[in-house]
Structure 1
């Protein structure tokens, strides 16, 4: 944002299993970049494109829909944030429609895309991320010791080779994604923190470990499913079902 003349658009690709926080972090970024989005949850400068929304198997039509949305957004604001959700559900090859916009091109059809930000949200690579995280755990090391160097090659390979929107795509092959960001599977201790936050935000509980209490938080966390079967270390759905469980038990 401080660079007045970036050489290309910033492209981030978030990977991990469902409920791990990909949408959550995208929302944090949008709120910190655009005041109106922070205040209302809406902004003309933030486009949240759900890849399953455009229900067609016609790759040409879908590519045109994507191109039109991106072009309209960047024409409105050259610093636009464009989020592609459920990238793993997009037909392979379609996302390459935006390749000219994120490549090292000064102008495409009289529009400069170099100041815009693109974020892809995908479940691809989630299995490899989880396996690496679990192997770290079994070796006695902390998950916080995992580095981008450990995980980025796994995600890059998964994004390119697993079925989904980035499968065999030019934008991966040509290294146009600036960072593959791993979202690790959430442990029960993280689920408890999600419950804590939900109680604080939605039930106005200033000290959830006191009111309704640690026993309540434990009960909610136990309602979710965990894996692998022998250790039950990670939540199968991350924090995605926390709100529903809290509402029912409250």
Structure 2
């Protein structure tokens, strides 16, 4: 084997060489595009979200496999907090890019963190346009994630629109491809109503069709009195390709999240321990207690209380 110094030199040289996209068949070693792995991860780690899993895998696979696909794919995630929107975004990044969220081809923005002061929206717009442009120039395939998307200031839309349409800001498509994920709580009440109607009718949630949820989401966004919502404008200008609804989680799903949290810590668990964690969560509606008000959020913290 090589001496340590020689190994370090080889690794540095390899990293430099790969930076030019010459070290693997894809043309860019930073990009994996392992959709099969994504599908497996979703089936194992995402609970109670048959619609979201199917829609995301179908959309991403179709976009990546079609040589004539539009240069940008825009997915809009909708649902209550704790239902899996951030988890899916992380899994998409992890399976499409070697370094996941740490990849230089992936940028994540949280509206109230990165763009918190409305009075600075002009500076934010210039900064955002530069960040998007730099990333698309650096990477032939870029992933952009916007959390709390409903809180994006309308002044930022001018920076976003060219990239949503063409994956650049020059008004024409190049060789770059972009995937945008917008995560939002908007529409969660509509999704919850549909899920509740199915439950009260004695029908399993697995029978809820994606088409019904998308139709109801589009109706809510179009009829929204708050025209200041970024989603309203994206919809009006046909910039959203796919709506991804996340259903409210039931007690059985919370217990699965608790099981995952125990396993992630390497801790043993019992059915009683999972029940104890679920009992700590608030469920709604009050009279039926069907859905976790926080989804699986805070479950990993709550398992500490069930430890002996």
Q: TM-score, normalised by structure 1?
A: 0.88
**Is 1:220–2:277 an aligned residue pair?**
yes
Please list every run of 5 or more consecutive structure 2 residues that lacks an aligned counterpart in the other structure.
1-63
CA contact (8 A) 1:51 1:87 kept: yes
How far apart are residue 142 of structure 1 and its match? 1.1
Aligned residues of 1:124 and 1:162 also touching (Cα < 8 A): no
> CA shift at 1:212, angstroms?
2.5
Alignment of 1:1-250 (within 5 A): 1-37=64-100, 41-53=101-113, 54-58=115-119, 59-92=121-154, 94-103=156-165, 108=170, 112=174, 115-160=177-222, 161=224, 163=226, 165-169=229-233, 171-202=234-265, 204-205=266-267, 211-250=268-307
Change (3 A) 1:117 1:162: farther
Deviation by residue 1:42-74 (Cα, 9 ceiling, x = unmatched) = 111111111111221133333323222211211
What's the CA shift string for 1:4-27, capped at 9, x where partnerless? 443230000000010000000011
Q: SS of the residue aligned with 2:133?
A: helix
Give the whole-Å Cα distance in 1 for the aligned partners of 2:212 and 2:171. 39
| Shift, 1:109, TM fit | 6.6
| Structure with more helix by fraction | 2
Q: CA deviation at 1:150?
A: 0.6
Return the structure number with greater relative CO, CA threshold 8 A, min gap 6: 1
Q: How many residue pairs get matched?
A: 240
Distance (Å, rounded) in 1 between the aligned partners of 2:301 and 2:203: 33
- Preserved contact between residue 56 and residue 62 of structure 1 (Cα < 8 Å): no
Distance 1:10 1:113 in 2: 14
CA contact (8 A) 2:149 2:230 kept: yes
Distance, in Å, in 2 between the alignment partners of 1:55 and 1:31 is 27
**Conservation of the 8 A alpha-carbon contact between 1:13 and 1:119:** yes
Separation in structure 2 between the aligned mates of residue 183 and residue 88 of structure 1, nearest angstrom = 16
In structure 2, what is the Cα distance between the partners aligned to 1:183 and 1:177? Answer: 17
Q: CA deviation at 1:94?
A: 2.9
Q: Structure 1 residues 219 and 107 mapped into 2: Cα distance closer, same or farther (>3 Å)? A: closer
- Structure 2: how far apart are the matches of 1:55 and 1:230? 38
**Would the alpha carbon gap of residues 244 and 105 (structure 1) be closer, same or farther in structure 2, given more than 3 Å must change?**
closer
The change in CA–CA distance for 1:22 and 1:238 in structure 2 (over 3 A counts) is same
Scaled by the length of structure 2, what TM-score is found? 0.72
Structure 2 Cα separation of the partners of residues 125 and 190 of structure 1: 21
Q: Secondary structure at the match of 2:287?
A: coil
